[in-house]
């Protein structure tokens, strides 16, 4: 194992985290922004009105992109183990 391997794996892991978590995060951010504007405009400040649409949006994104996310994570795991084993 070379000395630069841990740093490279950490860098790759952070890039993977950004690419896999980015769509979920951006969806929740956009949904929260829209809901915040609607709640401010209508003055409805019920916690269920804010939580349920965000939860539904998050579940829908994970449902739609879950297979792709798992493929990316599994490929990274296999690649990391192969690098650490020296193959």
pTM of the full predicted structure?
Answer: 0.80
Buried b (16+ CB within 10 A) or exposed e, 24-60: beebeeebeeebeeeeeeeeeeeeeebeeebeebeee
Tens-place pLDDT, residues 10-67: 999 999 999 999 999 999 999 999 999 998 898 888 777 888 999 999 999 999 999 9
32 sits in which H/E element: helix 5-42
């Amino acid at each position: 194992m070379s000395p630069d391997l841990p740093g490279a794996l950490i860098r790759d892991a952070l890039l993977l985290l950004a690419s896999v978590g980015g769509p979920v995060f951006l969806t929740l951010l956009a949904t929260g922004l829209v809901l915040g504007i609607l709640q401010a405009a209508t003055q409805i400040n019920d916690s269920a009105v804010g939580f349920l649409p965000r939860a539904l949006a998050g579940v829908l994104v994970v449902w739609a992109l879950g297979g792709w996310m798992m493929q990316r994570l599994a490929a990274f795991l296999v690649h990391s183990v192969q690098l650490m084993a020296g193959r």
